[in-house]
Amino acid sequence: MSEYSVVGKSVPRVDALDKVTGAAQYGADVHRPGMLYGKIVRSKHPHAYIRGIDTSEAEKLPGVRAIVTQADVKTGRSVFATDKVLYVGEPIAAVAATDPDIAEEAAELVKIDYEELPVVQDVLEAIKPSTPRLHNDDTKDGPARRVIKARLKKLSDDESQDHSAEIEELTAKFESLEDEVYYNISAETHTEAGDVEKGFAESDIVVEDTYVVPRVHQTYMEPHVSIAEADSSGKVTVWASTQGPFAIRSGVAGTLGIPLTQINVIPTTMGGGFGGRFGVALTHVPAVLLSQKTGRPVRVQMTREEEFVDGRPAPGCVIKLKTGATNDGRILARQALAFWDSGSVSGASIGSTIRVRGVYKIPNLKVDAYGVYTNKSGTTAYRAPGTPQVAYAGESQLDEIARKIGMDGVEFRLKNMREEGDQIPAGAKEPKVGYKETLKAVADAAGWWNREKGPNQGWGVAIGDWTNGCGPGGIYISVHEDGSVRIFHGSIDITGTDTAIAQIVAEVLTVPYEQVTITRGDTDSAPYATGSGGSVVTFTMGNTAKLAAEDTCQRILALAAERLNTSADNLELKDGKVSVLVQDPPRSISLGELAAYSLSTTGGPIVGKGSFARKPSTPALAAQIAKVEVDPETGNVRVLKMVSSQDVGFAINPMAVEGQIEGGTVQGYAWAMMEEMQYDEKGNVNPGFVDYRVPTSADLPTVQSVIVEVPAPNGPFGAKGVGEPPITPTLATMANAVVDAIGVRITELPIKPEKVIDALKQNGK
């Protein structure tokens, strides 16, 4: 039995009625009087010089009110392409018209004169000297050249001895490593712990493979949209469907040189983000520019096709991975070389390459990662950015080793998992975590220990780790004379975080959940709140809510002490009323009575506030087991069972937490089996749901979620962020299950039926 009365319960969400009746107002549901409709003019070529932009025909179309290009961006910050385009879909101009169809027609009438350039879409091609450069001729050194370079520097700095012979030898070797001169590099990271060469030498078994993970789209169901309204005083209002209204405010301010105080971002209900809805470039900035130019409200709404060509998806990745272990199942060394497909700009996820270490005691680790420019749109975060890609490689390779040494996959992982106090490779000491509990929980729930399989069936296990982010937030609470409690804040709820906040406040103030309401402010009215990404909200805003409720509680007790003529420490807040602890006969006052009383005192209304910056988070594990059946005729892989466990610290709303686990698992399943943004020399070739398949209810069975609770010391009531972890293992879970079924490992995702057929042929079946 829980010691709590509101947290830990699956109460219905605070926004339930709006969401099931169609009343919730999403971005495109905002309609302003006199509103115009914007449309972006996009590049039709993946790589080309722009020799001219002619807007004259478009301007003549009745109903067109304005066309903006880079010339309209007074700050000079890059909003539209001017002399060169780097991908199909890149914005070149934007049109505003009185009707969305007229805007679309006008956008097509803008004539762009292109001079086409050679195109590069593959990361391993893009790094070669022979390929077209997107930005410049700069080069970076590969891992072996870096090692030699460092050694050379050391030798030449050492004046105590003559190293000229070695220097000459190393220099020759350095120069001979021509294929390690990388072009089109957007970013690089390098991490090392221990000595991998020594670790591999001591290993009984070393496995090396290259894993390829495709670029996938977050595919939030609501396409990007923005409504901007610039008034004659220069004040700009932006209705934004976004994960971070305050990030939109600063982004628009910075891009267009508008003072923060002159921008108000009004967040709408948001139709999914998964990391992809923080930026201002796609719709917000063009909408503001068009509104400033026309003096009218302007809505810019992307189509699904535009989402695919100019969204900011998750990067694909090529990972060369090598792992060494002993025959008794101890992992000794791991080395990774990753190339991330950044697209046209330096992008997200490369920093997560280090997560290829997993939650294992790997004493020797070396990770080299490069971001690579290609002729595609830029990338951004997607649910645990970067981790599903590297966890797929890492957990696939562990599966290979377990098979080769004949050890059970769960036992092998348990044997190598870190516990509290263990050294994290290239990191600090491990805090108290629930890694083993979480893996054991999924194994037990899935029936792993006495699993059976029929012909063409297979079982797969994998894990993934993630640590929720943290950021600043503020919350106000007021108590009203009917006893109701109102929360005011500025963070975005996607998945039920408002409900968690309301539950926390109700718990602390000992009132029924139904008595608590919550209001979201805009950036003019609400205190700052960190963006809703990085599994951050329940941790950050939950802590903030708890602080605000405790502050409110102090105010309540002080008022009650005055009213009941006793001291605050002789009072207790329980069941929504304040009672005198030591008093005969017992006396008490309800929150409503107290709130009414507060209006007639010099103290005034009951208001509490919470303000929170950051506290260390605790890592969380997700562990999954899948059972699949492969149809050898069609190559189709059917999931028979999918069990997903996660250490959530403490589930403030178990139903909402299960929803996160189920949803993340299915997104991971889709990445493993179905989704892939495909490109050729003409750009993205599958910009729609017919060719870019996402799962429907028909593709999957019920996902069984298993909640594990190892409390986080700094989380509200022990809660950890829960949104991101469940996607991290699934790519490998599925890949490992397919290997178990067909006996061949497919190292290039997604595992589409044709690849399964090829693999079966390769295996002589």
Partner 1 sequence: MNKHPVSLTVNGDQYDLLIEPRKTLLATLRDTIGLTGSKEGCSTGDCGACTVIIDGKAITSCLMLAVSANGKEITTIEGLSSNGHLHPLQQGFIEKGGYQCGFCTPGFIMASKAYLDEIPNPTEAELRHALGGNICRCTGYTKIIEAVMSAAEAMRNA
Q: Which of 262, 303, 570, 611 binds partner 1 (CB under 8 A)?
A: 303
Determine, following the binding rule CB under 8 A, whether residue 20 of this chain makes contact with partner 1.
yes
**Catalytic residue (choose from 59, 168, 724, 748):** 724
- Would you give the distance in Å from CA 185 to the centre of its chain? 23
Q: Which of 92, 193, 270, 731 binds partner 1 (CB under 8 A)?
A: 270
66's tokens: 């304005």
Q: Known catalytic residue: 724? A: yes
* Helix, coil or strand: residue 136: coil
Q: Which of 430, 658, 675, 676 binds partner 1 (CB under 8 A)?
A: 658
For residues 25 and 423, which CB has a smaller minimum distance to partner 1 in the complex? 25
CB 290 within 8 A of CB 300: yes
Angle, CA of 729, 734 and 740, to the nearest 5°:
125
For residues 208 and 691, which CB has a smaller minimum distance to partner 1 in the complex? 691
Binding marks (x or -) toward partner 1, 518..557, rule CB under 8 A? ----------------------------------------
Determine, following the binding rule CB under 8 A, whether residue 24 of this chain makes contact with partner 1.
yes
Query: At closest approach, how far in Å is the CB of 465 from partner 1?
Result: 20
* Helix, coil or strand: residue 123: helix
Binding marks (x or -) toward partner 1, 63..102, rule CB under 8 A? -------------------------------------xx-
Considering only residues 673 to 692 of the shown chain, the ones binding partner 1 according to CB under 8 A are 688-690
Query: At closest approach, how far in Å is the CB of 179 from partner 1?
Result: 40
For residues 221 and 428, which CB has a smaller minimum distance to partner 1 in the complex? 221
Distances from the Cα of 319 to the Cα of 577, 702, 750, angstroms: 60, 32, 15
Q: Left if phi > 0, otherwise alpha if psi is -120 to 50, otherwise beta: which for 274?
A: left
Strand partners, 706: 645
Total number of residues that touch partner 1 (CB under 8 A): 58
Options 28-36, 481-489, 577-585, 739-747: segment touching partner 1 (CB under 8 A): 28-36
For residues 379 and 667, which CB has a smaller minimum distance to partner 1 in the complex? 667
As a whole number of angstroms, the distance between CA 205 and CA 412 comes to 14
For residues 250 and 303, which CB has a smaller minimum distance to partner 1 in the complex? 303
Q: Which of 84, 128, 304, 587 binds partner 1 (CB under 8 A)?
A: 304
Distances from the Cα of 241 to the Cα of 27, 68, 220, 260, 270, angstroms: 5, 23, 11, 19, 5
Amino acid at the residue 236: V
Query: At closest approach, how far in Å is the CB of 661 from partner 1?
Result: 8
Residue 269 is classified by DSSP as B
Query: At closest approach, how far in Å is the CB of 527 from partner 1?
Result: 24
For residues 295 and 659, which CB has a smaller minimum distance to partner 1 in the complex? 659
730's tokens: 């699934």
Determine, following the binding rule CB under 8 A, whether residue 271 of this chain makes contact with partner 1.
yes
Considering only residues 152 to 171 of the shown chain, the ones binding partner 1 according to CB under 8 A are none
Determine, following the binding rule CB under 8 A, whether residue 655 of this chain makes contact with partner 1.
yes
Determine, following the binding rule CB under 8 A, whether residue 136 of this chain makes contact with partner 1.
no
For residues 333 and 648, which CB has a smaller minimum distance to partner 1 in the complex? 648
Q: What is the largest CA-CA distance in the chain?
A: 97
As a whole number of angstroms, the distance between CA 682 and CA 300 comes to 26
Options 17-25, 363-371, 461-469, 533-541: segment touching partner 1 (CB under 8 A): 17-25
- H-helix segments, 2-122: 16-21, 56-60, 100-109
For residues 228 and 337, which CB has a smaller minimum distance to partner 1 in the complex? 228
In this structure, how many other beta carbons lie within 10 angstroms of the beta carbon of residue 175?
Answer: 11
As a whole number of angstroms, the distance between CA 572 and CA 560 comes to 10
Determine, following the binding rule CB under 8 A, whether residue 33 of this chain makes contact with partner 1.
no
Determine, following the binding rule CB under 8 A, whether residue 211 of this chain makes contact with partner 1.
no
Options 9-17, 367-375, 548-556, 733-741: segment touching partner 1 (CB under 8 A): 9-17
Determine, following the binding rule CB under 8 A, whether residue 694 of this chain makes contact with partner 1.
yes
Options 136-144, 269-277, 337-345, 398-406: segment touching partner 1 (CB under 8 A): 269-277
Considering only residues 571 to 630 of the shown chain, the ones binding partner 1 according to CB under 8 A are none
For residues 34 and 688, which CB has a smaller minimum distance to partner 1 in the complex? 688
**Residue-by-residue DSSP string for 461-504:** EEEEEEE-----EEEEEEE-TTS-EEEEE-PPPSSSHHHHHHHH
For residues 579 and 678, which CB has a smaller minimum distance to partner 1 in the complex? 678
Length of the chain: 765
Q: Which of 170, 568, 700, 707 binds partner 1 (CB under 8 A)?
A: 700
- Strands 84-85 and 48-54 turn out to be antiparallel
707's tokens: 């909640």
Distances from the Cα of 735 to the Cα of 177, 386, 446, 624, 727, angstroms: 34, 18, 17, 12, 14
Q: Which of 240, 372, 536, 656 binds partner 1 (CB under 8 A)?
A: 656
Range 52-65 burial, b when 16+ CB lie within 10 A, else e? ebebeebeeeeebb
Considering only residues 485 to 514 of the shown chain, the ones binding partner 1 according to CB under 8 A are 494-496
Query: At closest approach, how far in Å is the CB of 10 from partner 1?
Result: 7
Options 503-511, 569-577, 610-618, 665-673: segment touching partner 1 (CB under 8 A): 665-673
202's tokens: 């001591």
Amino acid at the residue 28: A
Determine, following the binding rule CB under 8 A, whether residue 703 of this chain makes contact with partner 1.
yes
Range 714-745 burial, b when 16+ CB lie within 10 A, else e? bbbbbbbbbbbbbbbbbbbbbbbbbbbbbebb
For residues 222 and 368, which CB has a smaller minimum distance to partner 1 in the complex? 222
Strand partners, 478: 486, 607
Query: At closest approach, how far in Å is the CB of 662 from partner 1?
Result: 4
Q: Which of 666, 731, 739, 746 binds partner 1 (CB under 8 A)?
A: 666
CB proximity list for 296: less than 8 A, separation 6 or greater: 34, 35, 36, 65, 96, 229
Q: Which of 662, 709, 724, 740 binds partner 1 (CB under 8 A)?
A: 662
Determine, following the binding rule CB under 8 A, whether residue 221 of this chain makes contact with partner 1.
yes
As a whole number of angstroms, the distance between CA 330 and CA 398 comes to 11
As a whole number of angstroms, the distance between CA 221 and CA 758 comes to 34
For residues 24 and 414, which CB has a smaller minimum distance to partner 1 in the complex? 24
Q: Which of 4, 9, 25, 632 binds partner 1 (CB under 8 A)?
A: 25
Residue 316 is classified by DSSP as P
As a whole number of angstroms, the distance between CA 478 and CA 484 comes to 8
Residue 529 is classified by DSSP as B
Options 27-35, 81-89, 259-267, 583-591: segment touching partner 1 (CB under 8 A): 27-35
Of the candidates 137, 132, 143, 135, the residue with the CA atom closest to the CA atom of residue 180? 143
Query: At closest approach, how far in Å is the CB of 544 from partner 1?
Result: 22
Q: Which value, in Å, is the radius of gyration of the alpha carbons in the chain? A: 29
Query: At closest approach, how far in Å is the CB of 378 from partner 1?
Result: 21
Options 177-185, 215-223, 335-343, 536-544: segment touching partner 1 (CB under 8 A): 215-223
Determine, following the binding rule CB under 8 A, whether residue 21 of this chain makes contact with partner 1.
yes
For residues 387 and 653, which CB has a smaller minimum distance to partner 1 in the complex? 653
CB proximity list for 691: less than 8 A, separation 6 or greater: 678, 685
- Would you give the distance in Å from CA 616 to the centre of its chain? 19
Query: At closest approach, how far in Å is the CB of 624 from partner 1?
Result: 12
* Helix, coil or strand: residue 357: helix
Interacting residues toward partner 1 by CB under 8 A: 10, 12-13, 15-26, 28-29, 31, 100-101, 218-223, 269-272, 274, 303-304, 494-496, 655-656, 658-659, 662-667, 688-690, 694-698, 700, 702-703, 705
Residues classed as catalytic? 724
